[in-house]
Structure 1
Amino acid sequence: MSYPEVRRAILLVAGLYLLYRFVGTVTAILFLFFAVLILAMALNPIVNWLAERRIPRAAGAVLIALALLALLTVAALVIVPPMVAQGEQFVRDAPGYWTTAQSRVERTLERFPAVRERLTADGQLGQEIVQYAGNLIRSAGRYTVTAAGLIFALLLALILTIYALAQPCPLVKGLLGAVPAEHREKTRTALIRIASQVRAWVVASVLLGAVVAFLAWLGLTLLGVPNALLLAMLAFFGEAVPNFGPIVAAIPAILIAFAVSPITALWVAVLYVAIQQVESYLLAPLIMGKQLHLHPITVAFFVLVMGALAGLIGAILAVPTAAILRVLYEEFYYKPRHPDEEAITRDANEVIAS
């Protein structure tokens, strides 16, 4: 290897390291602006609709922001008080839930001594569960500062979205102008596809979350599970994280139902499985259609990677990130090199059948 090649390799490694350190430092900021970009693309058709009716874009963006704030305020006034009441009731009743669960677990394990000894050395599995639950409740206050920071980030994102919606032309023009002329048409097509898929994801996520939350609330109420509204809202937010969110949202409901009775816990588990089946095979294809068309393995990979990079926000943004990268891959790499889609499909089927 010649000296110029060694120098280029060293510079490349150093550049990648500096880029890694830079991205690691500003990850939260990058994800904030990415969320602003997604929100702006989702709301842009509404601003366009208002602009066609002689309402300036800046005024339209402000109107949309005010409408969102009003909607959130109404939702807060209607939903938050009973949620807070149920949350306080849950905190008061949690020790009782876990004490009841402890006694049920202990009685069950008394029938299976070998299993009891394998699960825990001293056989006090229920006591350990109660202790763990108590630690979770006592640590809840530590998230107050995080919640305040999240509210500030949401307000900042809303303000930045207003600016992006009010004057999008300089942003889009600057992006298209930075692309070489021979790639400008592909870039324009990619941006249009990305905006369409982001809008489909936002609308589908909200609708799916609302339907799942309603079904969870209805089922939990009919089964007599306490804190049904709180658990339903947890199911709503769980829909924001594909694959893993619904599972996490189901765990508290099953545990609380187990404190009522093991049969109730079993029915709650059946309820959540049924809701997920209805969502996967009926609601998702009906609401989202084939616009995103992402493989479940791809979604799971991006959820894990984005979650590792930016926590919950990264996991929530995993699906639009996967959709955006898929569009860029198809427009700039796959289509120019593989115009014969049928031939690629035949080759893929031969590999699978081998």
Structure 2
Amino acid sequence: MTTPAPKRAAADTAATSGAVRESMPPWLPKAVALVLCAVAALVAGWWLFVQLQGLLVLILVSLFLALALEPAVNWLHQHGVPRGPATAALMLGGTAATLAFFSILGSMLVGQVLALVGELPEMTGAVLNWINSTFRTRISPTGLLTEVSSASGLIQSYANSVLENVWGAGTTLLIGLFNGLTIALFTFYLCADGPRFRRTICSVLPPRTQAEVLRAWEIAIRKTGGFIYSRALLATACTAAHYVVLILLDIDYAFALALWIGVLSQFIPTVGTYIGGALPVLVALLQGPWPTLWILLFITVYQQFENYLLQPRITALTLDMHPAVAFGSVIAGAAILGPPGALLALPAGASMQAFASSYIRRYEVTEHPLVSPEAEAPADDAPPEDPPEPSSPDTAEPGAAPPAGPGARAAGDPEPAGDGA
């Protein structure tokens, strides 16, 4: 009796699905589910990172400041001061120094602007006289004033646009103030409760990993604190030296200009001296060419003195980085995180360099002129000649003695005894 066609088709379908099910590996559904969960977790993590990027940058800056304050807080704590008051005193001192720095520079800027406004009529008259005498024109100050007055509508519209942006500027100021208070709060807790914070982190790690984490933390504290304190010492020396020279040259706002060049020259590597020295040169230019020339010469000479004598001795044990590497690190940090990245680049790079050097095995380098800058060059630049190869009897010159081999005898030696053949 034959099976009906519908029942036979259903049986074939069931047999085929059973074969497919038997051929599929049992781990494949679980693997697909794990891959989908991993992709979803990565997408959620990236979205969360984008949303919290501002907060993460604030925490990173706070961690850097806490590492910088840690050596001084530890020193005060060893001398009987609790960690909380020690951290608060150091943070208040740093805030006061920062506000004093910007207030001094602000007073200098306001003074320069007021002086420029007071000298503007005389400077305008001198410029107009030079233009009239050079180009044979007849521009009068009164006509120029009329032209400027006719542009008052444009100036008024610009002033109105500035007033409209006051609300945006105020909002930006409030956001900056809130970020500063957030950084101060995180810095205080990370530094004052540093031992407890590190104990909490190490409590979830195995013992060997705890040792590595604490070692990395210690290196970061030493390098970051050394960076801040060595730069502060170099900035003090640079400020004092330039202040003396500016006083001798009788340049206005000597202390503000010296402080400006001292801070910028130390916290912006390689080119900070020249960027900071541009402002004293411009101020000296208003007083004549000779003060400008002398201050420019002193800035150049002091930069060389600092690079080759002062800085290597101060930063030998704190931040041993090549200037080119330091400059590249600052550019990379600024490209990644902006101004906070430029500030964090040097101590972060020095910490990673010190931590990696603990695990890199080094070997003794073979002496060679290419690796010994102080070694004298050989007298003859030509490469040494290879020793001459021994000539075969067929190519030897006529009358030349055959080469001495293992069985050769010298001239005058008796012949060896034969075999008796």
User: TM (normalized to structure 2)?
Assistant: 0.59
**Structure 2 partner of 1:136:** none
- Pairs aligned (count): 305
Residue among 13, 24, 32 paired with 2:58: 32
Cα deviation, 1:39-83, whole Å, max 9, x if unaligned, reads 2223223433444455443343334445555x549x83xx77665
Any gaps of 5 or more consecutive residues in structure 2?
1-30, 135-161, 374-421
Shift in CA distance, 146/321, structure 1 to aligned 2, threshold 3 Å = farther
Shift in CA distance, 145/24, structure 1 to aligned 2, threshold 3 Å = same
Matched, 1:159 2:185: yes
User: TM (normalized to structure 1)?
Assistant: 0.68
**Structure 1 partner of 2:363:** 342
Cα deviation, 1:276-307, whole Å, max 9, x if unaligned, reads 22222222223222332111121111111112
**Structure 1 partner of 2:383:** none
| Range 254-263 or range 57-66, more displaced | 57-66
Matched, 1:42 2:63: no
**Structure 2 partner of 1:93:** 115
**Structure 1 partner of 2:275:** 248
Q: Is the 8 A contact 1:83 1:229 kept in 2?
A: no
Shift in CA distance, 94/281, structure 1 to aligned 2, threshold 3 Å = farther
Matched, 1:309 2:336: yes
Q: Is the 8 A contact 1:87 1:230 kept in 2?
A: no
Distance apart, 1:319 and its partner CA: 0.9
Residue among 350, 354, 369 paired with 1:323: 350
Matches within 5 A, 1:50-199: 50-68=76-94, 72=97, 76=100, 83-94=105-116, 150=176, 152-177=178-203, 179-199=205-225
1:260 aligns to what SS in structure 2? coil
Q: Is the 8 A contact 2:108 2:256 kept in 1?
A: yes
Distance apart, 1:18 and its partner CA: 6.6
| Matched letter for residue 110 of structure 2 | E
C-alpha distance in structure 2 between counterparts of 1:63 and 1:210, whole Å: 21
C-alpha distance in structure 2 between counterparts of 1:170 and 1:37, whole Å: 15
Cα deviation, 1:289-344, whole Å, max 9, x if unaligned, reads 2332111121111111112233333222221121122234334xxx2xx42x124x
Matched, 1:271 2:271: no
Q: Is the 8 A contact 1:217 1:232 kept in 2?
A: yes
Identity of aligned residues (%): 21
C-alpha distance in structure 1 between counterparts of 2:244 and 2:58, whole Å: 35
Larger radius of gyration: 2
Any gaps of 5 or more consecutive residues in structure 1?
111-138
Higher RCO structure (Cα 8 Å, ≥6 apart)? 1
- Report the aligned-residue RMSD: 4.3
Cα deviation, 1:245-266, whole Å, max 9, x if unaligned, reads 2221112222232333333322
1:236 aligns to what SS in structure 2? helix
**Structure 1 partner of 2:248:** 222
| Matched letter for residue 288 of structure 1 | T
1:317 aligns to what SS in structure 2? helix
C-alpha distance in structure 1 between counterparts of 2:219 and 2:108, whole Å: 43
Q: Is the 8 A contact 2:220 2:348 kept in 1?
A: no
2:267 aligns to what SS in structure 1? coil
Q: Is the 8 A contact 1:28 1:310 kept in 2?
A: no
| Range 192-201 or range 42-51, more displaced | 42-51
Q: Is the 8 A contact 1:87 1:227 kept in 2?
A: no
**Structure 2 partner of 1:292:** 319
Cα deviation, 1:136-176, whole Å, max 9, x if unaligned, reads xxx9x998876665555444323322212222234212443
Matched, 1:210 2:236: yes
Distance apart, 1:15 and its partner CA: 4.3
Q: Is the 8 A contact 2:62 2:184 kept in 1?
A: yes
